[in-house]
């Protein structure tokens, strides 16, 4: 492992997708990258469903409507004390991922290092 001065305290990776199968495949790929190298937790966030209503006719038929739904699924990885090489490998994996979105949040430790 690296020394505490050269490592970040934690990295939060939030991944989201509209297809749960693509999300599961990417989750397994990230787990394979992280398993032996560092401690982490994964949290599945609840799915989000958005409903949109559109009038079928722009004129007098207000009761005739069409409903569309968009479901999205997401999860959060919290990686504790990752090394710089692990973060670099994670960034290359994230660049090659298509079919979803992600956000990275780098957190530092404040106060004394014990």
Domain ranges, residue 26:
10-47+73-107
Cα end-to-end distance, the chain, whole Å: 16
Q: Per residue of the chain (114 residues), what is the pLDDT tens digit?
A: 445 555 558 889 999 999 999 999 999 988 988 888 888 999 999 999 999 999 888 777 778 889 999 999 999 999 888 888 888 888 888 888 888 899 998 887 654 444
Place of tokens 């599961």: 24
Residue 84 maps to a domain:
yes
Distance of CA 44 to the CA centre of its chain: 9
CATH of the domain at 87: 3.30.70.1150
Residue 87 maps to a domain:
yes
* Pair 66, 44: CB distance under 8 Å: no
Residue 18 maps to a domain:
yes
The total number of structural domains in the chain stands at: 1
Residue 3 maps to a domain:
no
Distance CA 1, CA 81 (A): 9
Distance CA 74, CA 80 (A): 20
Residue 114 maps to a domain:
no
Q: What is the pLDDT of residue 82?
A: 85
Is the pTM higher than 0.85? The answer reads: no
Q: What is the pLDDT of residue 6?
A: 53
Distance CA 4, CA 80 (A): 11
């Amino acid at each position: 492992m690296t020394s505490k001065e050269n490592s970040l305290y934690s990295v939060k990776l939030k991944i989201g997708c509209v297809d749960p199968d693509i999300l599961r495949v990417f989750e397994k790929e990230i787990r394979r990258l992280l398993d032996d190298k560092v401690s982490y937790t994964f949290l599945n966030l609840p799915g989000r469903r958005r409903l949109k209503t559109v009038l079928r006719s722009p004129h007098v038929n207000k009761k005739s409507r069409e409903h569309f739904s968009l479901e999205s699924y997401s999860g959060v990885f919290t990686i504790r004390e990752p090394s710089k090489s692990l973060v670099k490998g994670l960034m290359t994996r994230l660049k090659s991922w298509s079919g979803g979105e992600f956000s990275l949040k780098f957190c530092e430790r404040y106060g004394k290092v014990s």
